[in-house]
């Protein structure tokens, strides 16, 4: 019982107050212990806890579209959740229940499907969407019309036009610096760069909400076999970065990092990133390996280090209070019977 309750009861008599005073701290200790036990049961690391997960959308359909293949998430202006499928369509989901509310098909200028991987909702509600086949970034209206297309450095284009490998280009996309800067992460290294060294390209906003090419930074994964499927900006200019890989017969590796590009070298003029002296990489700190999270009863349809794991590709920050960010992840099931469309709700504490 709280102290104010005990003080209010003093007028009823010293004996009653004495009983309440004795009971209050004991009850508080019990509550604190229960809260600590609950927190420990959900902890992935000292910085991250798993609030829960949902498989409710796995292998479902909506509006004639398969609800799956989800590769990116973003918060919309109205508080709903935009969920991008890499088969060229975009869902609007209820942010609390995850129930689909609408769906829009996407295409390129010739009406062809995209390999849509990265998503950011701009301040006017339009959608910035990557396709990793070229790669490209286009701006779409809410109803799916193309409004603009951003320039891409020639070195990041897929070979033979550039030095990138197909299906290994723009995976992550996020707006930072109050929306003045757009950042896209390559999934893997381009030819000529050391394996595991991934380029992060930025653009600066210009008049009319266009974007021009700006600085580029180098990020190194813990293992060359790991790629970068998603990045999300924090208000102070740092990034949450996912690293992901898959080993047949073993399962997925998914790790969450806090990364700081603010003092990294601009690598846009460096042809090959092969350990040159003086190049400052994006600094990073491991927040958690998702395999360390409690499974909370999750099941897997194929071997996994933790049955909670799947092919996690999408990430969005949904809220922030007192140094803790609420983060939502989603896995891409590739429309595969042994993979799952799974949403994960995390609490992430950063310093």
Cα→Cα distances 167→86, 203, 245, Å: 11, 22, 14
CA pair distance 244, 221, nearest whole angstrom: 9
- Rounded to whole angstroms, the Cα distance separating 24 from 19 reads 9
Instruction: Provide the whole-model pTM.
Output: 0.89
Q: What are phi and psi of 249, to 5 degrees?
A: 85, -10
Work out the average pLDDT over 170-199. 98
pLDDT score of 323: 87
The Cα–Cα gap between 262 and 266 comes to 10
Q: Which residue spans within 55-196 are E strands per DSSP?
A: 60-62, 65-67, 70-75, 81-85, 89-93, 100-105, 116-121, 127-131, 136-140, 146-149, 170-176, 181-186
Residues 9-20: tens digit of each pLDDT:
333 443 433 333
Question: Which tokens go with 62?
Answer: 């909506």
- What confidence score (pLDDT) does residue 10 get? 31
**pLDDT confidence tier of residue 276, bands split at 50, 70 and 90:** confident
Q: Where are the alpha helices (DSSP H) in the chain?
A: 3-9, 14-42
Q: How many CB atoms lie within 10 A of CB 131?
A: 22
Q: What is the pLDDT of residues 43-92, one digit of tens each?
A: 999 999 999 999 999 999 999 999 999 999 999 999 999 999 999 999 99
Distance CA 73, CA 90 (A): 10
Q: What pLDDT is recorded for position 121?
A: 98
CB of 129 within 8 A of CB of 149? no
The burial class, CB within 10 Å (0-12 / 13-18 / 19+), for 29 is: exposed
Q: Is the pLDDT of residue 124 over 80?
A: yes
pLDDT of residue 25: 58
pLDDT tens digits, one per residue of 216-248: 999 999 999 999 999 999 999 999 999 999 999
């Amino acid at each position: 019982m709280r102290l104010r309750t005990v003080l209010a009861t003093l007028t009823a008599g010293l004996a009653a107050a004495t009983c309440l005073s004795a009971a209050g701290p004991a009850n508080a200790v019990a509550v604190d212990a229960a809260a600590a036990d609950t927190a420990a049961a959900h902890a992935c690391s000292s910085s991250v806890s798993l609030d829960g997960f949902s498989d409710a959308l796995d292998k479902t359909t909506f509006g004639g579209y398969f609800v799956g293949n989800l590769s990116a998430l973003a918060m919309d202006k109205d508080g709903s959740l935009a969920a991008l499928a890499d088969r060229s369509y975009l869902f609007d989901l209820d942010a609390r229940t995850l129930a689909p509310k609408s769906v829009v098909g996407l295409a390129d200028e010739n009406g062809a499907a995209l390999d849509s991987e990265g998503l950011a909702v701009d301040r006017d509600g339009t959608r910035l969407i990557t396709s990793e086949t070229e790669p490209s970034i286009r701006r779409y209206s809410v109803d799916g019309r193309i409004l603009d297309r951003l320039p891409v450095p020639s070195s990041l284009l897929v070979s033979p036009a550039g030095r990138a490998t197909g299906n290994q280009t723009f995976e992550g996309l996020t707006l930072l610096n109050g929306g003045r800067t757009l950042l896209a992460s390559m999934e893997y290294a381009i030819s000529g760069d050391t394996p595991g060294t991934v380029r992060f390209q930025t653009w600066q906003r210009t008049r009319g909400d266009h974007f021009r090419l700006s600085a580029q930074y180098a990020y190194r994964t813990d293992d060359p076999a790991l790629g970068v499927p998603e990045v999300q900006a924090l208000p102070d200019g740092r990034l949450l970065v996912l690293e992901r890989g898959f080993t047949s017969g073993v399962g997925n590796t998914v790790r969450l990092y806090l990364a700081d590009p603010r003092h990294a070298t601009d690598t846009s003029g460096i042809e090959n990133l092969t350990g040159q002296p003086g190049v400052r990489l994006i600094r990073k700190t491991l927040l958690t390996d998702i395999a360390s999270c409690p499974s909370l009863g999750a099941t897997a349809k194929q071997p996994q280090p933790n049955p909670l794991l799947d092919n996690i590709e999408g990430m969005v920050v949904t809220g922030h209070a007192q140094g803790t960010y609420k983060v939502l992840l989603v896995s891409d099931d590739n429309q595969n019977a042994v993979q799952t469309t799974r949403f994960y709700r995390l609490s992430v504490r950063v310093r």
